[in-house]
Structure 1
């Protein structure tokens, strides 16, 4: 956890373009956006992967899509649509081991993903 990039952002040790914050959740613009809107929504509590979520974390983790949907709506993407993604471990595409939800919008997405 001491070397966790997102924990350092939560602690303000590393700057980020923060777009939302409450007691449990932080959201900031991705530094390598894959869409016109690309926001990362993270819990302030360190949870490394989806596999590490425990029963007592369900309320916290449940806030992530709630906040992502709110941010999508505030940016005018709710009706046109948007994508939310959570990656788990290496083959799932996870590069920062602190769970996070990608909110991407502002362009058409294709399927299957990457």
Structure 2
């Protein structure tokens, strides 16, 4: 197992071993699916059956990580109340990765999602930023609270919990 991976589970590939049929929940055009499936040269800081974490290539803070589901899930507008446990699990993984990188002040962090159409990758991804107090001007704008383009994990969970499914 590669350094930084946290599971004894085998790392799935992008296709089934016995055929060229893509694995369930995999989008070959999605950069994050390719990262999760070890098709890119990206260090995985966390990997388990459901969640992966890696560094953002354009960090907005000294610690800027992306937490993604291992299976392709659309952006936060495509979620419903059944996705609340997934979002909470993503936040928990983000907190664990911060702790592993000696970030102990969890009051100076930001966990959130870009709200469509303001996200460049449609694979659901949680931005984990710390310390917020050291973010530059542009990062404060891009990851701004109470904006049209960025919602915190707590705001998303509240929104999903308030959705009533109609049949």
TM-score range, shorter-chain basis?
A: 0.7 to 0.9
User: Distance between the aligned counterparts of 2:62 and 2:95, measured in 1?
Assistant: 16
Q: Does 1:21 align with 2:41?
A: no
Aligned mate of 2:111, from 69, 84, 108? 84
Structure having the higher strand fraction is 1
1:104 pairs with 2:139: no
User: In the alignment, what sits opposite 2:88?
Assistant: 62
Give the TM-score normalised by the residue count of structure 2: 0.59
Deviation of residue 54 (structure 1)?
Answer: 3.6
Q: CA deviation at 1:15?
A: 1.9
In 1, Cα distance between equivalents of 2:89 and 2:112: 14
Matches of 1:12 and 1:54 in 2, distance apart?
Answer: 29
Unaligned runs of 5+ in 1: none
| TM-score scaled by length of structure 1 | 0.84
* Between 10-19 and 53-62, the greater mean CA deviation after superposition: 53-62
Residue in 2 aligned with 1:38? 64
CA RMSD of aligned residues (A): 2.2
The whole-number CA distance in structure 1 between the counterparts of 2:83 and 2:35 is 21
> Does the 8 A contact of 1:69 with 1:78 survive in 2?
no
- Which gives a bigger RCO, structure 1 or 2 (Cα 8 Å, sep 6+)? 1
Q: Which has the larger radius of gyration?
A: 2
2:110 and 2:132 in contact (8 A); partners too:
no
**Post-superposition shift, 1:26?**
0.3
Query: Number of paired residues?
Result: 112
Aligned with 1:86: secondary structure? strand
Q: For structure 2, list consecutive stretches of 5 or more residues without a partner in the other structure.
A: 1-26, 148-167
